Every structure is written in C-alpha cells, then in structure tokens.
Structure 1
C-alpha cells in the first residue's frame, strides 16, 4: 500500500485544525476522537509528523470526515433546504425532525454544516445502540469524559452542561428513526435540559412518521412528549430532481452530454438516489479516462 506523502499529511492536518476549531480547546477535540490522544493531535497540528504513523493519520481522517476523494458538493434544492433547517435550529435554538428519502443528501448537508460552523455536533444513530452507547457518543462528540466507570446520568449531565455553555450549539442526530424506544426517550431529557440553550435536529426517512403515529395511537410511553417537542410536525425534504442530478454531474467534471445522459438514465431507475448517482458519475469519469488513454 502506498504511504501518505507530506502533502497528504498536510491536508489531513488542515482538516484536523478546522475540526478542532469546533471545540473550546484542542484537548476537548482529542476527547471526541477514538484512540487519538491530545499529544498526537498537538504533534500533527504543529507539523511534527515523524513519530505519527500513516495508520494514525488515516484513523484521524476517517473520524473527522476527511477524504482524498475529489468530489464537489453541489447545492441542490434539498441541500439548501437542509442547510436552512440546520442554520435556523442553531440560530434560534429550535428543535426539528427533518425527513427525506434515503440518498436525498441529508447526511451530506449535515456533515458539511458541521464542517463549516462552530459548536455543531453530529451523532450517527444505529438500531443496535444501547442507552450507554448513545450517551457515550454524545459525550465523545462534545469532548466530555467517557470513562467506562462513570455513571451514565452523570456523564450525560456533564456533556449537556458543556453544551449549554457554548454559543449557539447544535446537536444533529442522523438516522434517529433507528433508535429503540428506550434510547429515543432520552431525547425528552436532553430537550428538557437544553430547551432555549441549544438547537436539536433529528434526521431520518419517513418511517419515523408511521412510528410516531403508531406510538400516539397506542399511547406508547414518551411519544406524546416527543411529538410535542418537535412541534407536532416533521420538516419534509423534496424528492431529488433530474435538474439536481444534472447539476451534480457538471459540478464534478462530467460535461459530455452522452455521459450525463447515461447518469440521468441510471438515476431514474434508482429514484435519483444520490449515493447511486455519485457511484455512476465516478464510473463514467473512469470510462472517459480509459478511452482517452486508449486513444493516446
């Protein structure tokens, strides 16, 4: 495997520096990274790479969302809508549940918003998350201690206390519909502690609508409180349009009409899923490069 060049390491360092600016201190930033000490962060930021392995650089890059892949984010309609929701929640400390199809660009918008704004914390939820996992992930993201011996309640209180002291903090919970009921109910406590002090945005597919409807219909524990705290309404993103796909192709260097038509045709068969669109654009670019190389 080819090792990282100094230019590669400098690029990761720049991304790490931007990541650290989202925290009150570099120590807090290092707390949010799994298996990365404050000393390592300090050495990288000071361009002292000698004792830092390529594996450590790669580990940091993966956790801060850095990639060497050349991909240009195109501000589609959904990207602008999602960014508006996130900015509104951060500025006015609102609580919103944003709903959109899989592959419509929710996660991309959220990660880009975190990259470009201070005091934004992104938590990716999963169906196998236990309450302890959920609390530790929140604590880790805000740079709070996550000692395994700590009481969960104390850990959550400490993390929320840190968030409450920040200027315009925002918590983003991606794929929130995957959380089990007992974990999702933690949202009530989080809201109660941070109401008027932080913005909270959940994101998911529209499956959450049916789940909340069923929870309300059968009077399941916590669902009335959750429904009230999100304003009794979901914010719906639009379906990705053909024009969005066309613009993404052009933004990422695919300008030939024949290649773009292939992408558009493929996208139609997958409901314009942007993950699929990205894959097909890369395939078309590789195909064009191979044809160019063969011609030479």
Structure 2
C-alpha cells in the first residue's frame, strides 16, 4: 500500500471533518495513535493500522487520472453543482460504464468542505439503507435496535446539522429496494431548501421509477416529482475526449491513440454545434463504455512500456 498516498488521504479527511479527533473516531482508533501514525512515529508494524484507516476512510489506490474537461465529467459536475448550490434534487440515469461512479468519487475526493455525503447503494431495504446512511453521517454507533422511523429521525437531524450547502449523493441508486427509495420522500420533505441530492444509476433508475408511476405503486409518483420528472443521460466521449483521456493516462503516441479510438465501440449521436449560419445538429461518434476504454488504454500503455516507446 502506498502510505504516502494514504497519509495525504487522511490529511484531506482531517480538513474535511475539522480535526484529527473526528478522523480517529471515524477510524475507530485513538487520537494519539492517529497522531503518531501521521508523524511516522507509530512504533508497531503499521500494516494492519494502514488497512484499518484505508477501509474507514475509503482509500483506493489507482494510477488512473480522471479528466475534468471531457463531456461526461462536465455533465456530472454540472448536475452536482446545481444540486449543491441551490439544494435541488436531480437524477443521472445512464448506461453502465459511462463514468458516473468515477466522476462522483473524484468530485468527493477533491472536495474538502465536509458538505458531501457519498454512499454507494446496494440492494438494501429501508432499514439497511438508513443504517448505512447513518454510518456515513456520524462515527457514533447506533445503540440497540431502532425502528425505521427512529432511524429516519436521526438521519434527518444529522443532515440538517450539516453546514455549507450539504449534498447527499447516492450512487447506484437503482439497486435500492422500493422501501428504501420511499425513505427519500420524508428526507426531501424535512430537509427542503437545505439539502441537495444526486441520485445516480443505470438506465434502470429512470425505467423503474417511471414504471412505478404508471402502475401507481406507492411512493413512485412522489419520488418522480421530487426529481423534477426528468433524468440526465450521459452522451459518452467524442474522439477528442478519448485522445485527451489517453494523454492524461500516459498514452501519448498518435498511433496508440488512434488504435484505442478505432477499437472502441462507438455510436452516432446528434450534437448541436454553432456555425457561421447559426446552430445546427450534426452526427458525432461517441464512445459510451468507459470501462472498455480504460482497458484499451491500459493495454496500450503496457505495450508501449514493453516495446520501449
């Protein structure tokens, strides 16, 4: 494990939470232990402590560079900024591999305000969802069993205590079970004009909510209404975007960049462009699968390394 990277990550969390004590509390260790670890003076073997801190603070090692000036990232950042600044609720519903998760994680990791709550959803029912959300909001463990309503009250109180335009980001929101999704209704109602929220998921997020509205299932019309009844999709990466991503991640030769672009699957999409005669729509090729793009770039990087390019 890259201890320098982990220590920088820990320092970012200290800035985010405001003190070493709060970070230590989150990691389940003493403030003294964290202070010694940060100063390189922790006497024992630090491997187990490194792992404990990394897990508690969500540290992930990666040499992949997220590029901020490409189309998909700009769209995700625009949605995030709108929701945060004016306490809006919006949803991004786009195909798997479109870069939603990596973009949201990058935004979270580079923001040190402490005003972002990022949770990676799983197939949780209401109680599981509220427990996990509570754990993201505070390091104080729950005492004994609580009903859904009791948990909801605690979560909403913690959200309302947050300063600086707080925002809740729920990634893979399409995995949540209906009972968990319905918890968003009282959260919205009781944090309105204070809390922004971004729901992100595959195209199933929009499909399932719209299907719930058509079938008049409990809560779905209210959820759809709170999201403005509209869903943001991500177009993908243009050829220029792909070349920019290649260069940022160490693939700089024109041959390698062209290889990546020629092998990646592409779809045509209409894009509005400005001309001397005004605006018009033109067809532009887009790559939609960023996971596949990353694999191709990694392959080219390794090939260039082994060939000495």
Q: 1:178: Cα distance to partner?
A: 0.9
Counterpart Cα distance in 2 of 1:157 and 1:26 = 28
Q: Any gaps of 5 or more consecutive residues in structure 1?
A: none
Q: Match of 2:92, SS?
A: strand
**2:199 matches 1:198:** no
Residues 1:143 and 2:135 are matched in the alignment:
no
**1:119-138 equivalence runs, <5 A:** 119-127=115-123, 129-138=124-133
> Structure 1 or 2: larger strand share?
2
Q: Would the aligned equivalents of 1:126 and 1:179 in 2 still touch at CA under 8 Å?
A: yes
Is the contact between residue 175 and residue 205 of structure 1 (CA under 8 Å) also seen in structure 2?
Answer: yes
TM-score after normalising by structure 1? 0.86
Question: Displacement of 1:141 after TM fit?
Answer: 1.2
The 5 A counterparts of 1:1-296 are: 8-30=2-24, 32-33=26-27, 36-39=28-31, 40-51=33-44, 53-75=46-68, 76-117=70-111, 118=113, 119-127=115-123, 129-147=124-142, 149-152=144-147, 153-167=149-163, 168-268=165-265, 271-292=287-308
* Residue 24 of structure 1, CA deviation: 4.8
Paired with 2:211 and 2:292, the residues of 1 have a C-alpha distance of 32
Q: CA RMSD in A?
A: 2.4
Distance 1:26 1:133, change over 3 A: farther
Contact 2:170 2:199 in 1 (8 A): yes
Paired residue secondary structure (2:17): coil
Shift of 1:279: 1.9
The more displaced of 58-67 and 222-231 is: 58-67
Gaps of 5+ in 2: 268-286
Task: Report how many aligned residue pairs link the two structures.
Answer: 284
Task: Report the CA distance between 1:150 and its aligned residue.
Answer: 4.2
